[in-house]
Amino acid sequence: MHLVDGGLAEAMPIRLVEEMGADVIIGVDLYWKDYYRYDRNVSSVLERTYRLMLSKLSDVDSKTYGKNVIILRPRVSRLDTFAFDTAAETIKIGETCARANIAKIKRMIQ
């Protein structure tokens, strides 16, 4: 099952997934960005504020709901979420992030 909220109600639907009986929850936080490399105009500041809030909410959710939760944060800061022409590169970055956390994921599912 895939759940997508967009941060409107919860940054990550961890509580709902636990209530559904999940033993292990792997979330992916695409809101994480390198906040020091942005322009200093109003729209950029608002975007950084929103993304930072969602990323921090993901942290709170994962800490609140226990050890069966891992949040992966692939370093996609230089890529635009809606730039479909970079999808292959984005997927590769995600795969690299997952492989870097594979030992932790394996411990969680044992």
Quote the percentage of the chain above a pLDDT of 70. Answer: 64
The answer to whether position 4 is within a domain reads no
CB hemisphere CA count around 110 (13 angstroms): 6
Give this prediction's pTM: 0.65
The answer to whether position 75 is within a domain reads yes
Nearest-10 Cα torsion for 64, 75, 79, 96 = -110
- Per the CB < 8 A criterion, the answer to whether 11 and 57 are in contact is yes
pLDDT at 103 over 90: yes
pLDDT band at residue 98 under the 50/70/90 scheme: very high
Q: Containing domain of residue 23, as a range?
A: 14-109
- Structural domain count, the chain: 1
pLDDT band at residue 99 under the 50/70/90 scheme: very high
Average pLDDT, the chain: 76
